[in-house]
Structure formats: C-alpha cells, structure tokens
C-alpha cells in the first residue's frame, strides 16, 4: 500500500468516525434518540398546519406537504451550517494532536446532518402518501439537482463559517440572526402570492428560497423549473463552494496558530 492510499484510508476512517460522533452527539442523553428526527418535523408540521391551514389552506393545495417540503430543506441548511461553524472550534483538542486534514471535520458535520435530511425526506414521502398527494416520479428524480446545489452551498458556507468562528466567536450569534431572517424569507409556511410585488426581488436574493421553490415545483407540482433558473442555482452554489474552499485553504495553516 503506497503512502497516498494510506492517507486516503486514514482520512476516510476519520471522516466516518466524525460522522458517527456527530450523529450520536445530536441525540445523546435523549430517551427517544433518533426518533426525534421523525417526531420533531411531524409535530411541528401538525401544529403549523392547524394554525395556518385556515389562513392559507385555500391558496395552497395540501398544506402539510407544502410546509414540510420547505422545512426539511431549510432545517438541513440551518443544522448543517451550524455544525460546520463549530467543526474546528469544537474539536480543538483533537486538531492539536493530529495532522489530519481540517476540512474533514467540517465535511463530517455536513454528512451527519445529511443523514437526518434523508430521514425527513422519508417522512415527507409518508405524509404525501397519507394525504394522497400525487407522485410525480420523473420530476421527483430531477429534484436531485436542487438538492445537490444545496449541498454545495452548505459545504461552501460551512467552510467559511468554520474559519470565521475560530477568529470571531460572535459569528455564532450573528449567524443565528441571519438564518432567522432567511427562514422568514424562504416562504416555508406561507404562499408567495401574499408577498407584495416590490418585495419579490428581495426574496430572490435568498438562495435557500431558490432551492425550496425548485424542489416544490418538481416534487409537489410535477413542474420543471425554467432551465435558466436551474442553471443559475447550480452556478451560484458552485461559486459559494469554490469561495468556501479558497477561504479555507488560505487560512487552514494559520488556524493552527489560533488554537
């Protein structure tokens, strides 16, 4: 076995252990454990359906599916970026004792949250079956493209946040405010047609809204988004990913001095 393959094997092993650690830590001390991945989105969906179905039920077909489809995507974005942000600062003791690539800790956090995301997608399918929502197999397969775009967006953002968090602890609080703003600007629980036309341009500035909108078009309504919109989303996500890699590589060696 050559040195390069040994490094790759060690990196993959470390990545696997980080994913296991992050996934276990999420439910540590919980009686129901991983069941919360199922119960939490279901309970929130039921609660908000009761609250908002009378308000928006007439303008949104199958409100539970509409809400859950947006929430599972936004929750993945929020949880993965939060874990990524703390991936270096939260593993300082390990990073001091090992020469392992630092990006593995950030990537491991994203993968662990992606597992939770898969669980919520399974719940979404279950809710669609229960509510007798139509299944659009062909367009649902195409929905992999906005999901891949979302993953690229998360990794790029996570790498930048991981670096910023080492230098500025206040970024944790600032990011909490930013994600709250993004949530209300993502049309998760309300229809877009209630937003006055002048504010639509501000909604479009939110890349998470792009993902949610395209995912809903493909999965819920069996409609293929415009080719330009899909290309723009992929390009924007690729730019965020490349920017994240550049920032991380630039400060990777300097980070050791901050530990």
Tens digit of pLDDT per residue, the chain (259 long)? 333 333 466 678 778 878 877 766 766 655 556 676 677 777 877 777 777 766 665 667 888 899 889 999 999 999 999 999 998 888 777 777 777 788 898 999 999 999 989 988 998 999 899 889 998 999 999 999 999 999 999 999 999 999 999 888 889 999 999 999 999 889 888 888 777 777 777 777 899 999 999 999 999 999 999 999 999 999 999 999 999 999 999 988 777 655 5
Distance in angstroms (rounded) separating the CA atoms of residues 110 and 96: 22
Contact predicate 93/142, CB 8 Å: no
pLDDT of residue 7: 44
Phi first, then psi: give them for residue 87, nearest 5 degrees: -65, -35
Q: What is the pLDDT of residue 149?
A: 97
Give the distance, in angstroms, between the CA of residue 154 and the centroid of all CA atoms in the same chain: 6
Q: Please report the pLDDT score of residue 56 as a whole number.
A: 65
Structure tokens at 119: 């669980």
Closest CA to 82 of 118, 116, 106: 106
- pLDDT at residue 201, as a whole number: 73
Rounded CA-CA distance 240/157 in Å is 7
Find tokens 């891949």 and name the residue.
Answer: 148
Looking at residue 259, what is its pLDDT?
54
Q: Would you state the pLDDT for residue 36?
A: 67
Spatial contact of 113 and 80, defined as CB atoms under 8 Å apart: yes
Q: Which are the contacts of 187, defined by CB distance < 8 A and separation ≥ 6? A: 70, 195, 203, 209, 212, 213
């Amino acid at each position: 076995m050559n040195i390069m393959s040994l490094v790759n094997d060690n990196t993959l092993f470390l990545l696997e252990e980080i994913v296991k650690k992050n996934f276990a830590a999420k439910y540590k001390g919980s009686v129901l454990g991983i069941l919360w991945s199922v119960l939490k989105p279901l309970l929130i969906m039921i609660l908000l359906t009761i609250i908002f179905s009378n308000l928006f039920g007439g303008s949104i077909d199958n409100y539970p599916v509409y809400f859950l489809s947006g929430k599972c995507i936004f929750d993945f974005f929020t949880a993965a970026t939060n874990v990524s942000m703390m991936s270096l600062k939260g593993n300082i003791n390990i990073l001091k004792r090992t020469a392992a690539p630092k990006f593995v800790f950030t990537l491991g956090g994203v993968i662990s949250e992606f597992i939770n995301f898969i669980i919520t997608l399974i719940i979404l399918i279950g809710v669609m079956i229960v509510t007798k929502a139509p299944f659009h197999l062909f367009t649902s397969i195409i929905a992999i493209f906005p999901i891949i775009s979302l993953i690229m967006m998360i990794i790029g953002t996570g790498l930048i946040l991981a670096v910023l968090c080492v230098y500025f602890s206040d970024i944790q609080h600032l990011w909490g405010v930013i994600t709250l703003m993004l949530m209300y600007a993502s049309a998760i629980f309300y229809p877009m047609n209630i937003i006055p036309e002048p504010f639509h341009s501000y909604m479009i500035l939110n890349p998470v809204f792009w993902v949610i909108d395209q995912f809903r078009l493909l999965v819920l309504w069996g409609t293929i988004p415009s080719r330009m919109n899909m290309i723009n989303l992929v390009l924007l996500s690729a730019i965020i990913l490349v920017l994240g890699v550049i920032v991380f590589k630039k400060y990777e060696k300097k980070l050791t001095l901050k530990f």
